[in-house]
Amino acid sequence: MNESDRELSAMVQELWDNDVNRLKPGKDYRISLQGKAGDTMLAYDGSDGAASPLFIFVDENIFKKETFLAFISLLDNYESDTGEPEVVTPEEEAENHKFLDAIVETQTMKIVHRYLVQKQLSPQNTKDFKQQLYRIWFELYARKGSSRPDSSGFEHVFVGETRGGRTVIGFHNWIQLYLQEKLGHIDYKGYSVNANSPQPDEEKHILALQFSWKNGIKPKGSIFIGVSPEFEFALYTLCFLTSPNERVKVSFSVYELEIVCHHYNQKHIGTTYPVLVKYLTN
């Protein structure tokens, strides 16, 4: 691990330690991993390694917390098909700002803001910082193959999109996964592992998986489970602004991860998600 990775890991550990709204596996929620998903090439052939849903239960009282409430209100504001231009209504714009207002008040976002100011990567003024976050996450841009603004970092990462009706792209958030599964729009098809990745664990906060959403397939996705919206927002913003690399190595708690972060025009998040490298032993 190089010096910048070590420094980033220390920051992420601090975010983790201050994520007071994180759910506890087995207490606040329970998942059922079931079988291993089929090969990504076979995903479109209807193979299924899980007969039951991924989530057994989630204590939905957690969703009444301010940041969760503000986050969930954003999930229905998007047109999932890439190529379909997004129209942001004044109400939706207000919801975006309400979400940012809620998260910048959390300890995790305050820690990240302080660090980014110190590194001269973000403005000190909170209002200006929120404008920077808005640009990174909510400003629309045209995704590949589209001539009109049809996507944003937030939509891609947290809500999910479909390409050509058959393939799910993005969709790296457990709250959206849980809510869509509850509505019957998600069919969990099992966990994903390759020769080098560790076995998933129902008590851990990260999972690689395969699922279908609406009529599309996500052959392999990777998500945090049970973390708060502010933790993910803080972590991904941190990686986006501090590292020009598309893969950033971080170690914290019991996890060694790579955070994949693709920039779009250096101004917006194209995609970002965690990849489990290994579990750390004490």
- Identify the active-site residue in 113, 156, 204, 268: 156
- Identify the active-site residue in 172, 189, 205, 268: 172
3-state secondary structure (DSSP) of residue 110: helix
What are the beta bridge partners of residue 247? 260
Q: Which one, of 206, 204, 229, lies nearest residue 20 by Cα?
A: 229
Whether 278 is a known active-site residue: answer no
3-state secondary structure (DSSP) of residue 65: coil
Cα dihedral 234, 236, 241, 242, rounded to 10, equals 90
- The angle formed by the CA atoms of residues 101, 110 and 26, to the nearest 5 degrees, is 85
Phi-psi region of 207 (alpha: psi -120 to 50; beta: other; left: phi over 0): beta
- Identify the active-site residue in 113, 204, 218, 263: 218
- Distance CA(281)–CA(149), nearest Å, equals 45
* DSSP notation for 190-228: EE---TTSPPP-TTSSEEEEEEEETTEEEEEEEEE-S--
The beta-strand segments (E) located in the chain are: 29-31, 55-58, 161-163, 167-169, 186-191, 206-213, 216-224, 247-252, 255-264, 268-279
Whether 172 is a known active-site residue: answer yes
The amino acid occupying position 150 is: D
3-state secondary structure (DSSP) of residue 276: strand
Whether 218 is a known active-site residue: answer yes
Exposed e or buried b per residue across 208-230, where buried means at least 16 C-beta atoms within 10 angstroms of its C-beta: bbbbbbeebbbbebbbbbbbbbb
Give me the active site residues, please. Answer: 156, 172, 218
